[in-house]
Amino acid sequence: MKGRVLVLMSGGVDSTVAAFLLKSAGYEVEGLTFWFWSFPGAPDYQGRTKCCSLDLTALAAAELGIPHRTIDASAEFYKRVLRDFISRYRRGETPNPCGRCNRLLRFPLAFEYAEKHGFDFVATGHHARIVRGEGGAPELHRGIEPKKDQSYFLYGLSAHDLERLLFPVGGMRKAEVFALARAHHLHAARLPESQDLCFTVDGRFDFLFSNQDLAPGPIIDRRGRVLGEHKGLFRYTIGQRRGLGIAAAAPLYVVGIDPEKNALIVGSEKDLYAPGLIASEVSFISGTPPEEGAKLSAKIRYRSSAAPCTFHPLSDDRFAVRFDTPQRAITPGQIVALYDGDRLLGGGTIEKAIFDRV
């Protein structure tokens, strides 16, 4: 027996195949699902969200012949993730709750449970890879399929975490994962990929906000002229063009959000490009930031490519990067992940775009 592995299971194909691979390799495998969605004011999810299904996780575990349990951590999810999500929207940001959840909740809870119950490793279905670098230290690298790589969401892990983690599908392409699930007649092979935030209902999350948050207000240009009316600031993000309801001679995009004035600011596409950003709430896998002037690449949203940049530490909890080429729609609240080639170094939360020299 190679050791005991706790697999975080959602019911989807990636975590199901991860558990299958580990069991096939001779590990003693158990499944665990955290349920986060019974928070105050939550809709009745009936045990199923965009990324998790209690029925499907139980089915997957039964098909694999492994023990499985569910833990309700909804109170902690609301406290550590959703409160921040709501407050950031109220500050005019567009938060990314997945990175915060991984960093402050999902992985810490998993490691705590694993240690308490005698597991040697924790595994997930993330498309990322752990590679041994010089001296044998673990490094976190991208998954081999660029469009499915999920290392971006894992910037908050530490080298100590990597010693205890397994990512069995990180070296596989998504098509290979589905093919393996089909070949072994796993129900997860029939499921579509989850795309939206886990707690949305039909793509909406307005139930998290008060009537005041939903209040309409002016859409203004950069000179302060009123061009229209928005339907609640949380419905918009930097770079958005559709849904503004404004007739103009040239395309208009959201270039700023002013919560104090409840105003949405629009401008031309050229107004979206910035040469740099400042990030806070930073985390580095090695525990040490890169050196001043380090040449890296930075990814400012999950679906974007990492862009070449220069790193500038500002304090223990803040850094700046200056891009070789200005980047479009740098959005406060989103994750910025830093890479050296395929190796993820760490990252932080975008505080603001900077339009002058770093």
Q: What are the φ and ψ backbone dihedral angles of 232, each rounded to 5 degrees? A: 115, 120
* Residue the block writes with tokens 């694999």: 64
153: nearest Cα among 134, 174, 177, 170 = 170
Angle subtended at Cα 154 by Cα 152 and Cα 157, rounded to the nearest 5 degrees: 145
Helices 54-64 and 13-24: angle between axes, nearest 10 degrees: 20
The two tokens of residue 164 are: 């205890």
User: Residue 265 class from Cβ within 10 Å (0-12 exposed, 13-18 middle, 19+ buried)?
Assistant: buried
CA distances from 270 to 73, 81, 253, 301 (A): 44, 34, 10, 19
Q: Which residues contact 211 (CB under 8 A, 6 or more apart)?
A: none
Q: Which residues contact 152 (CB under 8 A, 6 or more apart)?
A: 99, 299, 302, 335, 337, 344, 347
130: nearest Cα among 102, 159, 107 = 159
Scanning 25-95, the segments in alpha helix (DSSP H) are 54-64, 74-77, 83-90
Catalytic residue at 198?
yes
> Rounded distance, CA 358 to CA 347, Å?
18
Say which of 51, 52, 98, 101 is annotated catalytic: 101
The two tokens of residue 194 are: 């989850």
Catalytic residue at 309?
no
> Rounded distance, CA 95 to CA 81, Å?
10
For every residue of 210-270, DSSP letters joined together read -TTTT--EEEEETT--EEEEES-GGG--TT--TT-----SS--EEEEEETTTTEEEEE-GG
Q: By the 8 A CB rule, do 255 and 274 touch? A: no
Say which of 52, 98, 198, 309 is annotated catalytic: 198
Residues taking part in catalysis: 101, 198
